[in-house]
Amino acid sequence: MPTYRDEGVVLRTHHLGEADRIVTLLTRSHGKVRAVAKGVRRTSSKFGARLEPFMVADMQLVVGRSLDIITQAVTLGSYAPDIVGDYGRYTAAAAMVETADRLTDHDGSLQQYVLLIGALRSLARGEHAPTLTLDSYLLRALSIAGWAPSFDECAVTGAPGPHSAFSPQLGGMVAAEAAPPGTARLAPETVELLGALLAGDWERVDASSTGIRNAASAAVGAYVQFHLERGLRSLQHIERNMP
């Protein structure tokens, strides 16, 4: 049977039988792959721990009829231990891999793969607050998928900002004359933070206040929920700090 080699990040796993596991991967070159890891739930397994969610591995797989089979796995990024031991990091990572699972298919996206790896690495290292890393990841992942939000100009007319009306269904910030009745209004500091999260301006992001971060997170959540048509289950478990 044909074999292939690729690196991938584990998005989720399911038990199969008494000792096997079905692993859903986002790979660098083969898109999203579902594969069987045989015997990995046994204590004698040599690579079971390498195929847990948030781990990145170089793998050899055998092509199967419905599911491929993982025959080898070498760890490239051991992010799970530093993530699962911290509730804030774990819930943020869970939302990230759920998003990647929803946005990718078997055709794959190298940009989505690289973005997810970078976000998990940053999360494991504790470089920024978990909620900030998550919100930045969500905005960038949606942008790669074709739903880039507009924060600097009106998403409808193109008129330069700043604008205060925020409409997820219209694509971000909109001018007052283009805003539907009841459109949410955001403070200038919140709009500035959203733009910094999208651009990866971490100096500005890290300097933001708790209240502004929470307001930005609410806007990101609304944007994600609209464009993914149903909300991410993982988002409801995210811890927000009170100002």
- The tens digit of pLDDT for each residue in 45-95 reads 777 788 999 999 999 999 988 899 999 999 999 999 999 999 999 999 999
Residues 24 and 101 sit within 8 Å (Cβ to Cβ): yes
- Band (pLDDT 50/70/90 cuts) for residue 43 is low
Instruction: For residues 227-231, give the mean pLDDT.
Output: 78
Asked if the model's pLDDT at residue 107 lies above 90, the reply is: no
Strand, helix or coil for residue 229 = coil
Tokens of 95: 């939302």
DSSP string, 134-175: HHHHHHHHHHHTT---BSSB-TTT--BS---EEEGGGTEEE-
**Would the pTM count as exceeding 0.85?**
yes
Instruction: For residues 4-30, give the mean pLDDT.
Output: 93
Q: How far is CA 148 from CA 99, 103, 212, in A?
A: 15, 14, 21
Tens of pLDDT, residues 111-130? 999 999 999 999 999 999 99
